[in-house]
Chain A
């Protein structure tokens, strides 16, 4: 269900904006400002990934090797005329 939900969030984002989600996966980073979570589906052949952002300075991103659960709200932002969607994380478990 997690894979399907994330795919649907990315295909029809307007239905999921400002909704709260709990996502289990691995945290990754491009080494600087961009962080994401990723995982696979039930057959381990299809992958999903979604950008995550932490705005509360008291919360830090977990190590990129950990399998974590992130709790957050699905948000959108517009940069240079392009809309991007991400999970604004309120907590890592």
Chain B
């Protein structure tokens, strides 16, 4: 079988179609969200929240319920608390994220080891941390939840893009001109929580930051316009995820790590293009 025949064969499996649908939706949201998080200097928030989500998954594993029912609400609540904590200035951004990140990871892994009913703890943990095959073993609930939540996230970004832009670039001015910035920050926290939980299925807990950060940074290297940065980041994120899923299927590599490797490669290409453009301008 050549590569195209193999791809055609794999596309006959509905779990592959599900993986592609969810992968495209998640990466689209991550591409858009990443721009705002990078500009507001919340790049590592994805890391912190994904570790909190891992802790919640561990509790769900022990209790024996579907992880989404626990991961989503806990991650959203922590996201809101984290953004409030850093906005009030009592704990600095990076310290708050570091505290939550390592604490949740350690407690989660400890609980899984002490209380787990599964004989294969390392596979449960490994799959959640690295997303090695999670995207290819989605349930119908996972797929429908991803679709509904992505529609909600995209609708928010499309309907309120002006306010989001104002709050991102100059929050003080937005507040002074009457915008209720705390509401927009809380909604953004909810959206970050949702996207982190969904993205864990694609790349796992440890690699989520890459999915959020790299497409945005690649776009910022090439474009100065806000609209173009968002469009390019979304396209790059989606294309890289699709490529990563196909490469993983064809050559048996872990999905999450493959997608991140492609993200890094594209970022380096964009960086080189920026350098070349600057040299041409100087000349």
Residue of A4, A8, A43 ringed by the most chain B CB atoms within 10 A: A4
Q: Which of A19-61 contact B (CB under 8 A)?
A: 41-43, 45-47
Chain A residues in the interface with B (C-beta under 8 A): 1, 3-5, 7-8, 11, 15, 41-43, 45-47
Which residues in A have their C-beta under 8 angstroms from that of B130? 43
A-B contact pairs, 29 of them (CB 8 A): A1-B10, A1-B249, A1-B252, A3-B133, A4-B15, A4-B133, A4-B137, A5-B13, A5-B15, A7-B133, A8-B15, A11-B137, A41-B254, A42-B132, A42-B133, A42-B248, A42-B254, A43-B126, A43-B132, A43-B254, A45-B122, A45-B123, A45-B132, A46-B120, A46-B126, A46-B127, A46-B132, A46-B133, A47-B120
Indicate if B253 sits at the interface (CB-CB under 8 A): yes
A15 partner, pick from B14, B133, B136, beta carbons under 8 A:
B14
Known: A4-B137, A43-B126, A45-B123. 15 other contacts (CB 8 A): A1-B249, A4-B133, A4-B136, A7-B133, A7-B137, A8-B15, A8-B137, A42-B133, A42-B248, A43-B130, A45-B122, A45-B132, A46-B123, A46-B133, A47-B123
Interchain CA distance A7-B16 in the complex, whole Å:
13
Q: Are A42 and B252 in contact (CB under 8 A)?
A: yes
Q: Are B132 and A41 in contact (CB under 8 A)?
A: yes
Q: Which 5 A-B pairs have the closest CB atoms?
A: A4-B136, A45-B126, A46-B123, A43-B132, A8-B15
B123 CB contacts on chain A under 8 angstroms: 45-47
Give bound CA distance, A41 to B120, whole Å: 13
A8 engages B126 (CB within 8 Å): no
Who on chain A is nearest to B10 by CB?
Answer: A1
Cβ of B13: which chain A residues have Cβ within 8 Å of it? 5, 8
0/1 string, B151-193, CB within 8 A of A gives 1: 0000000000000000000000000000000000000000000
**A47 to B137, alpha carbons, bound, how many Å?**
14
B68, chain A: closest CB distance, angstroms:
16
